Structure 1
């Protein structure tokens, strides 16, 4: 696991890479087209997800999430963009608790299948713009996403 952060103008980023033991293809399917399975795989963190516009599988669809982060129940309306060629999915916050703290918030999850001697990897990137210069970076949301990926990984291994 590696954690890094950087600043580019007003848009800042946090990143972490997580090694997974399950199938990269199966994990990628859950985070792109099978969001309805996430509450089952990560019930301590994700309570519900529903389609607001579009469907479960189409890039550009909008989902409504209910989840708990650091003991607080929050909601998020986000737009999903799928980059099949790079096994990457981006979630752009449209409404919700996270936007009470950040002007812009995007999470990007990229799955890299293992090479001959390597492991399957999930790279989680959080891009954000602070509302106020003194605001803290969204470390709790990065930790939350790492935990959800680990939950999905464990769920896939147990299945």
Structure 2
């Protein structure tokens, strides 16, 4: 993405108790289980085309953000189990009304000290015009989802 006033990148880290592999598995291979962990935020994730965990797979998310029901269709652009990384590119849905492009990358690594992991979220985007806000509330949304998923994973183990 070329730099301009319309392009941006937001990043955040979330400390979790679950292992990198457990958290990565939820987004790479079981995104359809995410709504069980945070049903107030994610209503569903359906396989539209392809196979869970494979590059090129298209998934359809139903979620509530900023108090509104929203939809997103995303293509899986990268899955790297060695780096516990998955990248989604939004191709249809509510975000595309305000953004020309929107890419979400999730990478999970072990914490440098002690047990647990660090979830690193990256949102890269290009706004349709200068009047569009940067997606800070969406960054907070994914951080909140991380905590919900972690609570589910650590409760289950």
Fold equivalence (TM over 0.5): yes
Q: Which has the higher contact order (CA 8 A, sep 6+)?
A: 2
TM, length-normalised to structure 2: 0.91
Q: How many residues were matched structurally?
A: 153
Q: Do the aligned partners of 1:82 and 1:90 also contact (CA within 8 Å) in 2? A: yes
Q: Which stretches of structure 1, 4 residues or longer, exceed 6 Å deviation after superposition? A: none
Decide whether the 8 Å contact of 2:17 with 2:115 is kept in 1. no
Per the TM alignment, residue 119 of structure 1 is displaced from its structure 2 partner at its CA by 4.4
- Structure-to-structure mapping, 1:63-102, within 5 angstroms: 63-80=59-76, 81-102=78-99
1:9 lines up with 2:6 in the alignment: no
Q: SS at 1:136's partner residue? A: coil
- The question of whether the paired residues in 2 share the 8 Å contact of 1:25 and 1:113 is answered with no
For structure 1, the residue ranges without an aligned partner over 5 or more in a row are: 1-6
The two structures, once aligned, show a CA RMSD in angstroms of 1.6
TM-score, normalising length from structure 1?
Answer: 0.90
1:134 deviates by 2.8
Corresponding residue for 1:35? 31
Distance in 2 (alpha carbons) for counterparts of 1:90 and 1:110: 9
What is the match of residue 158 of structure 1? 155
- The 1:106/1:60 distance shift into structure 2, 3 A limit, reads same
